[in-house]
Chains A and B, each alone.
Chain A
Amino acid sequence: AQKITQTQPGMFVQEKEAVTLDCTYDTSDQSYGLFWYKQPSSGEMIFLIYQGSYDEQNATEGRYSLNFQKARKSANLVISASQLGDSAMYFCAMREGTTSGTYKYIFGTGTRLKVLA
């Protein structure tokens, strides 16, 4: 079973509009972290936003906000006022503990966002 599910392979949004990228996750851990990364065509993964499982408020970082619904196990990324430079691949990731007491990241399959002028 997929631990991180991103159901939107591709999305279009008009410049200056807001867009929501979906992410659902599956874990039995009580302590975990959720991340969103942006990957432009250059290939580098750029950290956008983090949400801890115990954080009571939704995370925000500039134009990025995370709509965290713990009971539904969803962590959707909201980008407000889209810009042409936001066109990229977006990955949702979860960091959870392992049976050996360490941690690992699990990534979703990504959503390719295209911002239209």
Chain B
Amino acid sequence: KAGVTQTPRYLIKTRGQQVTLSCSPISGHRSVSWYQQTPGQGLQFLFEYFSETQRNKGNFPGRFSGRQFSNSRSEMNVSTLELGDSALYLCASSLRGGTGRLNEQFFGPGTRLTVL
């Protein structure tokens, strides 16, 4: 079974631009979560999608948005990029996103975004 895939792996943008990152979950997984990882703030939860609906959101500004398609693939968009948005963006999928063991999250390799 293929793992979680994320595209692109690396991205360089300039301030003020917008960017879209893509995540394809493991086949059969319906929950997709996004995280931002920076050296200063660590891993921070952005949002979670389940069956095309956002059902949980972290404390990020409205410039960060996402969506999920009917095939469970998810995209994350960041508008009006700032220097501080430079980070590794990780996507994780799980069956349903509950607390049981079978709903553990599997992470993709991440997209490393650099904002100049």
Contact = CB atoms under 8 A, between A and B. Distances in A.
Nearest to B6: A44
A100 B97 CA distance: 14
Contact of A33 (B33, B58, B101): B101
Nearest to A53: B99
Given A91-B43, A102-B48, A45 B107 contact: yes
Contact of B97 (A53, A91, A102, A108): A102
Contacts, number: 70
Interface of B: 33, 35, 42-45, 48, 50, 55-56, 58, 88, 90, 92, 97-101, 103-110, 112
Contact of B105 (A44, A97, A105, A109): A105
A47 B105 contact: yes
Nearest to B43: A107
Interface size class of A (residues with CB under 8 A): 20 to 34
Contacts of B109: 42-44
Given A44-B107, A102-B50, A102-B55, 10 more contacts: A32-B99, A35-B105, A43-B88, A43-B109, A43-B112, A44-B110, A95-B103, A100-B56, A102-B48, A104-B45
A40 to B, nearest CB: 11
Interface of A: 31-33, 35, 37, 42-47, 50, 52-53, 91, 95-98, 100, 102-110
A46 B108 CA distance: 9
B58 to A, nearest CB: 8
8 contacts: A37-B107, A43-B112, A44-B110, A52-B101, A105-B92, A109-B42, A110-B42, A110-B43
Q: Nearest 6 CB-CB pairs, A to B?
A: A45-B107, A107-B43, A102-B56, A44-B109, A43-B110, A102-B55
Contacts of A96: 99
A33 B99 contact: yes
Contact of A47 (B33, B58, B100, B106): B106
B55 A100 contact: yes
Nearest to A109: B42
Contact of A45 (B50, B56, B92): B92
